[in-house]
Structure 1
Protein backbone atom coordinates (compact mmCIF):
# COMPACT_ATOMS: atom_id res chain seq x y z
CA UNK A 1 0.00 0.00 0.00
CA UNK A 2 1.43 3.36 -0.98
CA UNK A 3 2.21 6.06 1.55
CA UNK A 4 -0.44 8.23 -0.12
CA UNK A 5 -3.16 5.63 0.46
CA UNK A 6 -1.96 4.93 4.02
CA UNK A 7 -2.15 8.64 4.86
CA UNK A 8 -5.63 9.04 3.43
CA UNK A 9 -6.90 6.01 5.34
CA UNK A 10 -5.28 7.04 8.61
CA UNK A 11 -6.01 10.79 8.65
CA UNK A 12 -9.13 11.46 6.56
CA UNK A 13 -12.22 11.95 8.71
CA UNK A 14 -15.77 11.41 7.49
CA UNK A 15 -18.13 14.15 8.61
CA UNK A 16 -21.82 14.86 8.25
CA UNK A 17 -23.36 14.20 4.84
CA UNK A 18 -20.34 12.09 3.86
CA UNK A 19 -17.98 15.05 3.58
CA UNK A 20 -14.39 13.83 3.70
CA UNK A 21 -12.26 16.07 5.89
CA UNK A 22 -8.62 16.09 4.83
CA UNK A 23 -7.82 19.47 6.32
CA UNK A 24 -4.99 18.19 8.55
CA UNK A 25 -2.80 17.24 5.57
CA UNK A 26 -4.29 18.11 2.16
CA UNK A 27 -6.34 21.29 1.98
CA UNK A 28 -5.95 23.44 5.10
CA UNK A 29 -2.86 22.40 7.01
CA UNK A 30 -0.59 21.25 4.22
CA UNK A 31 1.74 18.28 4.61
CA UNK A 32 4.28 19.20 1.96
CA UNK A 33 5.84 15.73 1.86
CA UNK A 34 2.41 14.18 1.20
CA UNK A 35 1.63 16.85 -1.42
CA UNK A 36 4.98 16.38 -3.12
CA UNK A 37 4.42 12.61 -3.31
CA UNK A 38 0.86 13.06 -4.63
CA UNK A 39 1.96 15.72 -7.14
CA UNK A 40 4.76 13.50 -8.41
CA UNK A 41 2.37 10.55 -8.78
CA UNK A 42 -0.13 12.62 -10.79
CA UNK A 43 2.71 14.02 -12.92
CA UNK A 44 3.99 10.48 -13.55
CA UNK A 45 0.55 9.36 -14.71
CA UNK A 46 0.35 12.23 -17.23
CA UNK A 47 4.01 12.17 -18.32
CA UNK A 48 4.33 12.57 -22.07
CA UNK A 49 0.92 14.23 -22.49
CA UNK A 50 2.53 17.55 -23.48
CA UNK A 51 1.04 19.44 -20.56
CA UNK A 52 1.82 23.16 -20.48
CA UNK A 53 -0.38 24.21 -17.52
CA UNK A 54 -1.98 22.66 -14.44
CA UNK A 55 -5.35 24.27 -13.68
CA UNK A 56 -7.47 24.14 -10.53
CA UNK A 57 -10.08 26.14 -8.60
CA UNK A 58 -9.24 28.24 -5.58
CA UNK A 59 -8.62 27.40 -2.88
CA UNK A 60 -8.48 23.75 -1.88
CA UNK A 61 -6.96 22.57 -5.14
CA UNK A 62 -4.12 25.08 -5.26
CA UNK A 63 -1.62 23.03 -3.24
CA UNK A 64 -1.97 19.82 -5.27
CA UNK A 65 -1.93 21.82 -8.51
CA UNK A 66 1.32 23.53 -7.49
CA UNK A 67 3.08 20.31 -6.55
CA UNK A 68 1.87 18.58 -9.71
CA UNK A 69 2.93 21.53 -11.85
CA UNK A 70 6.35 21.59 -10.19
CA UNK A 71 6.83 17.89 -10.94
CA UNK A 72 5.84 18.52 -14.57
CA UNK A 73 7.98 21.68 -14.84
CA UNK A 74 5.05 23.87 -15.91
CA UNK A 75 3.06 26.75 -14.36
CA UNK A 76 0.12 26.18 -12.02
CA UNK A 77 -2.97 28.29 -12.66
CA UNK A 78 -6.10 28.62 -10.56
CA UNK A 79 -9.55 29.88 -11.37
CA UNK A 80 -10.62 32.64 -9.02
CA UNK A 81 -14.08 32.64 -7.51
CA UNK A 82 -14.17 36.41 -7.11
CA UNK A 83 -13.10 39.21 -9.43
CA UNK A 84 -10.34 41.24 -7.80
CA UNK A 85 -8.60 44.44 -8.75
CA UNK A 86 -5.41 42.46 -9.20
CA UNK A 87 -6.84 40.38 -12.02
CA UNK A 88 -7.22 41.51 -15.61
CA UNK A 89 -10.86 42.19 -16.50
CA UNK A 90 -10.34 40.09 -19.65
CA UNK A 91 -11.31 36.63 -18.38
CA UNK A 92 -12.87 33.33 -19.34
CA UNK A 93 -15.81 32.62 -17.04
CA UNK A 94 -17.95 29.67 -16.00
CA UNK A 95 -20.82 29.44 -13.51
CA UNK A 96 -20.68 26.53 -11.05
CA UNK A 97 -22.57 25.35 -7.98
CA UNK A 98 -20.77 24.06 -4.90
CA UNK A 99 -22.80 21.31 -3.25
CA UNK A 100 -20.60 21.25 -0.15
CA UNK A 101 -21.12 25.00 0.40
CA UNK A 102 -24.63 25.20 -1.11
CA UNK A 103 -23.82 28.26 -3.21
CA UNK A 104 -22.91 29.29 -6.71
CA UNK A 105 -19.71 30.85 -8.00
CA UNK A 106 -18.39 32.42 -11.14
CA UNK A 107 -14.98 30.96 -11.95
CA UNK A 108 -12.56 33.29 -13.73
CA UNK A 109 -9.25 32.72 -15.50
CA UNK A 110 -7.36 35.57 -17.09
CA UNK A 111 -7.11 35.37 -20.87
CA UNK A 112 -3.43 36.31 -20.43
CA UNK A 113 -2.80 32.98 -18.71
CA UNK A 114 -4.59 30.46 -20.93
CA UNK A 115 -4.83 30.19 -24.72
CA UNK A 116 -5.17 27.84 -27.68
CA UNK A 117 -1.53 26.76 -27.41
CA UNK A 118 -2.00 25.22 -23.97
CA UNK A 119 -2.43 21.58 -23.03
CA UNK A 120 -4.09 21.56 -19.64
CA UNK A 121 -4.14 19.10 -16.77
CA UNK A 122 -6.95 19.89 -14.36
CA UNK A 123 -6.03 18.96 -10.78
CA UNK A 124 -8.02 18.98 -7.55
CA UNK A 125 -7.98 17.60 -4.04
CA UNK A 126 -11.36 15.84 -4.03
CA UNK A 127 -13.78 14.93 -6.82
CA UNK A 128 -17.40 14.45 -5.76
CA UNK A 129 -20.13 15.83 -8.02
CA UNK A 130 -17.64 17.31 -10.49
CA UNK A 131 -19.20 20.74 -10.89
CA UNK A 132 -15.94 22.63 -10.34
CA UNK A 133 -14.11 20.44 -12.83
CA UNK A 134 -16.91 20.79 -15.39
CA UNK A 135 -16.61 24.56 -14.96
CA UNK A 136 -12.87 24.35 -15.58
CA UNK A 137 -13.47 22.22 -18.67
CA UNK A 138 -15.79 24.95 -19.95
CA UNK A 139 -13.08 27.58 -19.38
CA UNK A 140 -10.48 25.47 -21.20
CA UNK A 141 -12.90 25.06 -24.12
CA UNK A 142 -13.53 28.82 -24.23
CA UNK A 143 -9.75 29.36 -24.42
CA UNK A 144 -9.62 26.77 -27.26
CA UNK A 145 -6.95 24.93 -25.28
CA UNK A 146 -6.62 21.15 -25.09
CA UNK A 147 -7.44 19.06 -22.02
CA UNK A 148 -4.94 16.29 -21.25
CA UNK A 149 -7.10 15.01 -18.42
CA UNK A 150 -8.08 15.40 -14.80
CA UNK A 151 -6.00 14.29 -11.81
CA UNK A 152 -7.41 14.18 -8.28
CA UNK A 153 -6.11 12.96 -4.97
CA UNK A 154 -9.44 11.50 -3.79
CA UNK A 155 -12.45 10.54 -5.90
CA UNK A 156 -15.73 9.86 -4.14
CA UNK A 157 -16.79 6.81 -6.14
CA UNK A 158 -20.40 6.99 -4.98
CA UNK A 159 -20.88 10.47 -6.42
CA UNK A 160 -21.49 11.39 -10.06
CA UNK A 161 -18.33 13.38 -10.85
CA UNK A 162 -16.08 10.55 -11.98
CA UNK A 163 -18.84 8.84 -13.94
CA UNK A 164 -19.73 12.08 -15.77
CA UNK A 165 -16.12 12.81 -16.69
CA UNK A 166 -15.57 9.29 -18.00
CA UNK A 167 -18.84 9.41 -19.98
CA UNK A 168 -17.76 12.58 -21.78
CA UNK A 169 -14.41 11.01 -22.61
CA UNK A 170 -12.16 12.83 -20.14
CA UNK A 171 -9.16 10.89 -18.90
CA UNK A 172 -9.44 10.75 -15.10
CA UNK A 173 -6.63 9.66 -12.80
CA UNK A 174 -7.55 9.33 -9.11
CA UNK A 175 -4.91 8.46 -6.53
CA UNK A 176 -7.60 6.99 -4.26
CA UNK A 177 -11.24 6.13 -4.99
CA UNK A 178 -13.57 5.94 -2.00
CA UNK A 179 -15.93 3.04 -2.60
CA UNK A 180 -17.98 3.54 0.57
CA UNK A 181 -17.91 4.60 4.19
CA UNK A 182 -18.23 1.80 6.74
CA UNK A 183 -18.42 2.50 10.47
CA UNK A 184 -17.11 6.01 9.89
CA UNK A 185 -14.05 4.77 7.95
CA UNK A 186 -13.23 5.07 4.27
CA UNK A 187 -13.24 1.90 2.21
CA UNK A 188 -11.16 2.37 -0.92
CA UNK A 189 -11.65 0.67 -4.27
CA UNK A 190 -8.85 -1.69 -5.24
Structure 2
Protein backbone atom coordinates (compact mmCIF):
# COMPACT_ATOMS: atom_id res chain seq x y z
CA UNK A 1 0.00 0.00 0.00
CA UNK A 2 2.73 2.46 0.99
CA UNK A 3 4.71 1.58 -2.12
CA UNK A 4 1.67 2.33 -4.32
CA UNK A 5 1.18 5.69 -2.57
CA UNK A 6 4.84 6.59 -3.04
CA UNK A 7 4.69 5.67 -6.72
CA UNK A 8 1.53 7.73 -7.18
CA UNK A 9 3.10 10.71 -5.40
CA UNK A 10 6.23 10.40 -7.58
CA UNK A 11 4.13 10.21 -10.76
CA UNK A 12 2.18 13.28 -9.65
CA UNK A 13 5.41 15.19 -9.02
CA UNK A 14 6.78 14.23 -12.45
CA UNK A 15 3.48 15.18 -14.09
CA UNK A 16 3.54 18.61 -12.47
CA UNK A 17 7.13 19.12 -13.64
CA UNK A 18 6.24 17.99 -17.16
CA UNK A 19 3.21 20.27 -17.28
CA UNK A 20 5.36 23.11 -15.96
CA UNK A 21 7.69 22.55 -18.93
CA UNK A 22 4.69 22.61 -21.27
CA UNK A 23 3.56 25.98 -19.91
CA UNK A 24 7.12 27.38 -19.98
CA UNK A 25 7.50 26.40 -23.65
CA UNK A 26 4.11 27.92 -24.52
CA UNK A 27 4.95 31.27 -22.89
CA UNK A 28 7.91 32.15 -25.11
CA UNK A 29 7.36 35.71 -26.39
CA UNK A 30 8.40 34.94 -29.99
CA UNK A 31 5.23 32.90 -30.50
CA UNK A 32 3.15 36.01 -29.84
CA UNK A 33 5.52 38.50 -31.46
CA UNK A 34 7.29 37.08 -34.51
CA UNK A 35 4.72 34.38 -35.33
CA UNK A 36 1.69 36.49 -34.43
CA UNK A 37 -0.16 34.05 -32.18
CA UNK A 38 -2.90 36.13 -30.50
CA UNK A 39 -1.82 37.07 -26.97
CA UNK A 40 -5.25 36.28 -25.56
CA UNK A 41 -6.56 33.52 -23.27
CA UNK A 42 -7.54 31.60 -26.41
CA UNK A 43 -4.12 32.03 -28.04
CA UNK A 44 -2.33 31.00 -24.86
CA UNK A 45 -4.62 27.94 -24.55
CA UNK A 46 -3.75 26.94 -28.13
CA UNK A 47 -0.01 27.03 -27.40
CA UNK A 48 -0.43 25.07 -24.18
CA UNK A 49 -2.49 22.47 -26.08
CA UNK A 50 0.14 22.32 -28.85
CA UNK A 51 3.00 21.75 -26.39
CA UNK A 52 0.98 19.33 -24.29
CA UNK A 53 0.41 17.32 -27.45
CA UNK A 54 4.16 17.30 -28.16
CA UNK A 55 4.95 16.26 -24.58
CA UNK A 56 2.43 13.41 -24.58
CA UNK A 57 3.53 12.18 -28.01
CA UNK A 58 6.98 11.67 -26.52
CA UNK A 59 5.45 9.28 -23.96
CA UNK A 60 3.45 7.19 -26.45
CA UNK A 61 4.42 3.54 -26.65
CA UNK A 62 6.99 3.77 -23.84
CA UNK A 63 5.35 1.38 -21.39
CA UNK A 64 2.99 1.44 -18.42
CA UNK A 65 4.95 4.02 -16.39
CA UNK A 66 4.87 6.48 -19.32
CA UNK A 67 1.14 5.88 -19.80
CA UNK A 68 0.55 6.62 -16.12
CA UNK A 69 2.61 9.81 -16.40
CA UNK A 70 0.63 10.87 -19.50
CA UNK A 71 -2.69 10.33 -17.68
CA UNK A 72 -1.53 12.29 -14.65
CA UNK A 73 -0.21 15.11 -16.87
CA UNK A 74 -3.62 15.41 -18.52
CA UNK A 75 -5.21 15.54 -15.07
CA UNK A 76 -2.78 18.35 -14.16
CA UNK A 77 -3.82 20.20 -17.34
CA UNK A 78 -7.51 19.85 -16.42
CA UNK A 79 -6.83 21.14 -12.88
CA UNK A 80 -4.93 24.11 -14.36
CA UNK A 81 -7.81 24.90 -16.74
CA UNK A 82 -10.20 24.82 -13.78
CA UNK A 83 -7.97 27.15 -11.76
CA UNK A 84 -7.48 29.56 -14.70
CA UNK A 85 -11.20 29.82 -15.38
CA UNK A 86 -11.96 30.54 -11.74
CA UNK A 87 -9.22 33.21 -11.70
CA UNK A 88 -10.82 34.80 -14.79
CA UNK A 89 -14.10 35.03 -12.89
CA UNK A 90 -16.03 32.24 -14.59
CA UNK A 91 -18.96 31.26 -12.35
CA UNK A 92 -18.73 28.09 -10.26
CA UNK A 93 -21.66 26.47 -12.06
CA UNK A 94 -20.16 27.13 -15.50
CA UNK A 95 -16.57 26.06 -14.78
CA UNK A 96 -17.08 22.26 -15.12
CA UNK A 97 -18.74 22.67 -18.55
CA UNK A 98 -15.97 24.97 -19.79
CA UNK A 99 -13.26 22.66 -18.46
CA UNK A 100 -14.93 19.73 -20.21
CA UNK A 101 -14.98 21.74 -23.45
CA UNK A 102 -11.28 22.64 -23.00
CA UNK A 103 -10.38 18.97 -22.53
CA UNK A 104 -12.42 18.00 -25.60
CA UNK A 105 -10.72 20.78 -27.59
CA UNK A 106 -7.32 19.44 -26.56
CA UNK A 107 -8.18 15.88 -27.64
CA UNK A 108 -9.53 17.17 -30.97
CA UNK A 109 -6.34 19.10 -31.63
CA UNK A 110 -4.10 16.22 -30.56
CA UNK A 111 -5.87 13.89 -33.00
CA UNK A 112 -5.61 16.38 -35.88
CA UNK A 113 -1.97 17.31 -35.15
CA UNK A 114 -0.92 13.64 -34.98
CA UNK A 115 -2.61 12.88 -38.31
CA UNK A 116 -1.22 16.01 -40.00
CA UNK A 117 2.35 15.40 -38.81
CA UNK A 118 2.24 11.84 -40.16
CA UNK A 119 0.69 12.82 -43.49
CA UNK A 120 2.98 15.81 -44.06
CA UNK A 121 6.02 13.66 -43.24
CA UNK A 122 4.83 10.93 -45.63
CA UNK A 123 4.76 13.35 -48.58
CA UNK A 124 8.59 13.58 -48.26
CA UNK A 125 8.73 16.89 -50.14
CA UNK A 126 10.46 19.37 -47.79
CA UNK A 127 9.97 22.26 -50.21
CA UNK A 128 6.20 21.99 -49.70
CA UNK A 129 6.60 22.53 -45.96
CA UNK A 130 3.73 21.15 -43.88
CA UNK A 131 0.54 22.11 -45.76
CA UNK A 132 -1.89 20.00 -43.72
CA UNK A 133 -0.45 21.03 -40.37
CA UNK A 134 -0.25 24.69 -41.44
CA UNK A 135 -3.92 24.64 -42.44
CA UNK A 136 -4.97 23.07 -39.13
CA UNK A 137 -2.89 25.54 -37.13
CA UNK A 138 -4.37 28.45 -39.05
CA UNK A 139 -7.84 27.21 -38.13
CA UNK A 140 -7.15 26.47 -34.47
CA UNK A 141 -4.56 29.08 -33.51
CA UNK A 142 -5.20 31.94 -35.92
CA UNK A 143 -9.00 31.64 -36.33
CA UNK A 144 -8.67 30.98 -40.09
CA UNK A 145 -7.05 34.37 -40.77
CA UNK A 146 -5.47 34.27 -44.25
CA UNK A 147 -3.23 37.11 -43.10
CA UNK A 148 -1.61 34.67 -40.69
CA UNK A 149 -0.51 32.08 -43.27
CA UNK A 150 3.15 32.92 -42.62
CA UNK A 151 2.73 32.51 -38.85
CA UNK A 152 0.89 29.20 -39.32
CA UNK A 153 3.65 27.93 -41.63
CA UNK A 154 6.30 28.97 -39.10
CA UNK A 155 4.43 27.28 -36.26
CA UNK A 156 4.06 24.11 -38.36
CA UNK A 157 7.80 24.12 -39.04
CA UNK A 158 8.48 24.54 -35.32
CA UNK A 159 6.15 21.61 -34.50
CA UNK A 160 7.83 19.35 -37.06
CA UNK A 161 11.30 20.20 -35.75
CA UNK A 162 10.19 19.80 -32.13
CA UNK A 163 8.51 16.48 -32.85
CA UNK A 164 11.68 15.20 -34.49
CA UNK A 165 13.89 16.42 -31.61
CA UNK A 166 11.56 14.85 -29.05
CA UNK A 167 12.00 11.41 -30.54
CA UNK A 168 15.46 11.48 -28.92
CA UNK A 169 14.84 13.28 -25.62
CA UNK A 170 12.22 13.88 -22.95
CA UNK A 171 10.09 17.00 -23.20
CA UNK A 172 11.32 18.44 -19.89
CA UNK A 173 14.94 18.13 -21.04
CA UNK A 174 13.98 19.60 -24.43
CA UNK A 175 12.64 22.74 -22.70
CA UNK A 176 15.24 22.98 -19.91
CA UNK A 177 18.16 22.59 -22.32
CA UNK A 178 16.82 25.48 -24.39
CA UNK A 179 16.10 23.38 -27.49
CA UNK A 180 12.54 24.75 -27.74
CA UNK A 181 13.89 28.32 -27.67
CA UNK A 182 16.54 27.56 -30.28
CA UNK A 183 14.04 25.93 -32.64
CA UNK A 184 11.69 28.88 -32.21
CA UNK A 185 14.51 31.38 -32.81
CA UNK A 186 15.50 29.49 -35.96
CA UNK A 187 11.92 29.52 -37.25
CA UNK A 188 11.32 33.20 -36.47
CA UNK A 189 14.58 34.28 -38.10
CA UNK A 190 13.56 32.43 -41.27
CA UNK A 191 10.15 34.13 -41.16
CA UNK A 192 11.83 37.54 -40.95
CA UNK A 193 14.08 36.73 -43.89
CA UNK A 194 11.16 35.50 -45.99
CA UNK A 195 9.08 38.60 -45.28
CA UNK A 196 11.76 41.11 -46.36
Structure exhibiting the larger radius of gyration computed from Cα positions: 2
More helix by share: 2
> Structures share a fold, TM > 0.5?
no
More strand by share: 1
TM-score by length of 1: 0.28
TM-score by length of 2: 0.28
Higher relative contact order (CA 8 A, sep 6+): 2
